[in-house]
C-alpha cells in the first residue's frame, strides 16, 4: 500500500511513518519545509514533500498514486490550518483512497457524546485563551471534522484521549461515545494512537466511524473490555 502521511514530522506523524514502514508500506510524508530535518532518521526509506499541509497543490502532488492517507489534524494558528488540510485531502485523494484523520475526544460526530464538567471547562478556558493569543483555534478542528463527516469518502476519524509517551502496549480499544466507561481512564500511548490509525487503513469496519480510543492496558479498558 502506498500511504501519504500528512503532518509526518510531528510526534504522532513520525510514529505513523514508523508503523507504515514496519508493515512494508511505501510512504510519502508531507511536512512544513522547516521541519523536513525531523524526518532525517527515515533517510531514503520515505519520500518527503515539503510544504504547508493546507496547500492544495502540495497535497495534490503528495497524494499522487497513493492508496491511503493518514492525516494529523492540528488546530494551531487561527488561519483555518486544520480545515484547509482536511479539505485539500478530501479534494485530491483518489476516489477509492482510504482516509484516516486524527483529532481529540472533543470532536463529536453525532452530538451524543457526554463530557464531564471538568473537560468542558478545560476546553472553554483553553479554547478562549488560545484563540485570544492567536495560538490555536479549536473550532478549526471542529470544522475540519465536520467536512470529513459530511463527505462520502472512505474516511475514519480517530479521536484520541490524553496521550503519553512510552513503548507500545498494543492496539487501543474504542467506543462510539466518550462517556462509555471503557474510556474512563482517558489515556493512550501516542505510539498506539498511531498504531490504531495505521490498522484502520485495512479495517473496512471502521469506515464512516469516529472511534474514541483508550489504551488497552488502562484500568478502564481492563475492567470493561
Ligand X SMILES: NC(=O)c1ccc[n+]([C@@H]2O[C@H](COP(=O)([O-])OP(=O)(O)OC[C@H]3O[C@@H](n4cnc5c(N)ncnc54)[C@H](OP(=O)(O)O)[C@@H]3O)[C@@H](O)[C@H]2O)c1
Nearer to ligand X, 97 or 213 (CB): 213
Q: Which is nearer to ligand X, 152 or 165 (CB)?
A: 165
Question: Are 155 and 99 in contact, with CB atoms under 8 Å apart?
Answer: yes
| 38, 146, 147, 224: residue in contact with ligand X (rule CB under 6 A) | 38
Min dist. Cβ of residue 72 to ligand X (A): 5
Q: Given the C-alpha cell 499522487, which residue does it identify? A: 64
DSSP character at residue 135: S
Per CB under 6 A, the segment of 43-51, 70-78, 88-96, 109-117 that binds ligand X is 70-78
Give the ranges where 37-189 is alpha helix by DSSP (H): 56-63, 81-92, 117-132, 138-150
Closer by beta carbon to ligand X, 37 or else 95: 37
- The CA-to-CA distance between both ends of the chain, in Å, stands at 31
Q: What are phi and psi of 5, to 5 degrees?
A: -105, 110
- Per the DSSP assignment, residues forming a β-bridge with 103 are 159
Query: Contact at 8 Å (CB) between 202 and 174?
Result: no
Residues 6+ apart with CB under 8 A from 94: 63, 66, 67
**Strand, coil or helix: what is 68?**
strand
Q: What are phi and psi of 15, to 5 degrees?
A: -65, -40
Mark the segment that binds ligand X (CB under 6 A) among 17-25, 121-129, 145-153, 157-165. 157-165
Residue nearest to ligand X (CB): 10
User: Is 138 an interacting residue with respect to ligand X (CB under 6 A)?
Assistant: no
Among 83, 87, 102, 108, binds ligand X (CB under 6 A): 102
Residue 29 lies near ligand X (rule: CB under 6 A): no
**Smallest gap, in angstroms, from Cβ of residue 76 to ligand X?**
4
Per CB under 6 A, the segment of 73-81, 88-96, 116-124, 211-219 that binds ligand X is 73-81
Longest CA span, the chain: 48
Q: Does 215 bind ligand X (CB under 6 A)?
A: no
Nearest by Cα to 148 from 205, 87, 98:
87
CB of 136 to ligand X, least distance (A): 9
Identity of the residue, 93 or 145, whose beta carbon is nearer to ligand X in the bound complex: 145
Confirm or reject binding of residue 41 to ligand X (CB under 6 A).
no
Q: Which of residues 104-133 bind ligand X (CB under 6 A)?
A: 104
Which positions touch ligand X (CB under 6 A)? 7, 9-13, 31-32, 35, 38, 72-74, 76-77, 81, 102-104, 160, 162-163, 190
Amino acid at each position: 500500500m502506498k500511504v501519504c502521511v500528512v503532518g509526518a514530522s510531528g510526534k504522532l506523524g513520525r510514529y505513523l511513518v514508523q508503523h507504515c514502514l514496519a508493515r512494508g508500506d511505501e510512504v510519502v510524508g508531507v511536512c512544513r519545509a522547516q521541519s523536513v530535518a525531523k524526518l532525517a532518521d527515515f533517510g531514503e526509506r520515505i519520500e518527503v514533500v515539503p510544504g504547508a499541509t493546507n496547500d492544495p497543490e502540495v497535497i495534490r502532488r503528495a497524494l499522487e498514486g497513493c492508496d491511503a492517507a493518514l492525516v494529523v489534524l492540528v488546530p494551531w494558528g487561527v488561519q483555518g490550518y486544520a480545515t484547509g488540510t482536511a479539505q485539500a485531502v478530501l479534494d485530491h485523494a483518489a476516489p477509492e483512497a482510504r482516509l484516516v484523520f486524527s483529532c481529540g475526544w472533543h470532536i463529536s460526530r453525532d452530538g451524543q457524546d457526554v463530557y464531564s464538567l471538568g473537560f468542558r471547562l478545560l476546553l472553554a478556558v483553553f479554547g478562549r485563551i488560545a484563540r485570544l493569543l492567536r495560538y490555536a483555534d479549536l473550532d478549526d478542528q471542529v470544522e475540519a471534522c465536520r467536512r470529513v463527516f459530511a463527505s462520502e469518502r472512505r474516511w475514519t476519524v480517530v479521536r484520541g484521549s490524553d496521550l503519553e509517551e512510552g513503548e507500545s502496549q498494543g492496539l487501543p480499544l474504542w467506543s462510539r461515545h466518550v462517556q462509555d466507561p471503557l474510556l474512563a481512564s482517558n489515556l493512550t500511548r501516542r505510539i498506539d494512537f498511531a498504531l490504531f490509525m495505521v490498522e484502520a487503513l485495512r479495517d473496512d469496519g471502521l469506515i464512516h466511524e469516529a472511534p474514541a480510543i483508550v489504551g488497552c492496558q488502562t484500568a478502564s479498558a481492563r475492567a470493561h473490555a
